[in-house]
Amino acid sequence: MKVKGFFAVIAIAIVGSWLGLFIAVPNVLVLITSFLENDPQGFFHLQFSTAAYHQVFDPLFWRVFLHSFEMSFKAMIICLTIAFPFSYWLCQFSSKVRGWLLFLTIVPFWTNSLVRAYAIKFILGKKGLVNSTLLFIGVIDKPLKLLYSEFAVIFGLVYVLLPFMILPLYASLEKLDKNLLSAARDLGANGLQRMWYIVIPLSMPGILAGCLAVFLPAMGMFYISDLLGGAKNLLLGNLIKTEFLSTQNWPYGAAMSISLIVLMAGMLFIYYKAAQHVQKRGEFDV
């Protein structure tokens, strides 16, 4: 028992040190930088200032933010539309088959998302797979302009983030008591009614978790927009990257980063409250 407790303490210490060094400390430094004064020559002055947060209310920031929000929301809805029926269908198989299908689902994680973004350029380019196929079968006369558009950015976000929607949904749907569906069928409920009144409410924690796992990272994936979207389809991450690397206005970039973190924290709080509500409602119904 003592040896087991010792290894538990060591493991907790290693994980705690890792989180503190590579997550807590950088975020604290970003927070401190956001309250400093900008210096084009040396990145920032060691002087307290809230000017960076005043710049957050600049129309340019909100224009990019709203456009980024819109594209991330569309990607989230598309991921949910694809992942929910797939996850529900996945749960109908035996555990062995499900294991293989889940394995195929997470295989893309083995490849860097940047490499996959370059693969999308090959698929959507003027001489890419989609245009070549459509030209070959005679559907179109000239290549479609798919790259460097909002469609390409959303396609890339869905392609990269779809597994993050599937896994929470699968984890939630797998726990679904099939006796409830059988009882509803015996009571005369059709397939749509069983889905609406039983499956969706009981899988709501997975739906919310998947939506957050897609929506929040989507707003910061600047490399997707850089490679696929062009100058008119920026994500919030692009603006933050530009302020740090090109404009070298570190306080403003840090202030935008903190604003995004606050947004994420707010949405996580909403998820926590919604999950609590679903759990209490389920207990009450029982």
Sign of the dihedral defined by the CA atoms of residues 82, 83, 88, 92, in that order: positive
pLDDT band at 286 (very low <50, low <70, confident <90, very high): very low
Nearest Cα to 77, choosing from 88, 66, 69? 69
What pTM was computed for the model?
0.84
Average pLDDT taken over every residue of the chain:
85
Residue 40: partners with Cβ closer than 8 Å, 6 or more residues away: 248, 249
Residue 148: partners with Cβ closer than 8 Å, 6 or more residues away: 228, 229, 230, 233
Task: Name residue, tokens 């309250």.
Answer: 35
Enter the tokens of residue 44: 């920032």
Burial class (CB in 10 A: 0-12, 13-18, 19+), 168: buried
Domains of the chain: which residue ranges? 58-248
pLDDT band at 284 (very low <50, low <70, confident <90, very high): very low
Query: Which has more confidence, 58 or 211?
Result: 211
Sign of the dihedral defined by the CA atoms of residues 41, 47, 49, 52, in that order: positive
CA atoms lying within 13 Å on the CB side of residue 254: 23
Decide if 236 contacts 256 (C-beta within 8 A).
Answer: yes
Q: What is the pLDDT of residue 281?
A: 62
Decide if 114 contacts 225 (C-beta within 8 A).
Answer: no
Q: What is the pLDDT of residue 28?
A: 92
Q: What does the angle CA 163 – CA 165 – CA 168 come to, to the nearest 5 degrees?
A: 105
Enter the tokens of residue 54: 């005043």
Asked if residue 207 has pLDDT above 80, the reply is: yes
> What amino acid occupies position 217?
P
Strand partners, 44: 38
Q: What is the pLDDT of residue 280?
A: 67
Task: Name residue, tokens 């005369």.
Answer: 188
Report d(CA 186, CA 119) in Å as an integer: 49
Q: What is the pLDDT of residue 87?
A: 92
Residue 197: partners with Cβ closer than 8 Å, 6 or more residues away: 184, 189
Contacts of 104-111 spanning 24+ positions with Cβ under 8 A? 105/163, 105/166, 105/167, 106/163, 106/167, 108/163, 109/163
Asked if residue 282 has pLDDT above 60, the reply is: no
Residue 225: partners with Cβ closer than 8 Å, 6 or more residues away: 153, 233, 234, 235, 237, 238
Q: What is the pLDDT of residue 279?
A: 64
Q: What is the mean pLDDT of residues 135-144?
A: 87
pLDDT tens-digit readout, 259-271:
888 888 888 888 7
Q: What is the pLDDT of residue 3?
A: 57
Query: What superfamily does domain 58-248 belong to in CATH?
Result: MetI-like (1.10.3720.10)
Report d(CA 21, CA 31) in Å as an integer: 15
Q: What is the pLDDT of residue 65?
A: 86
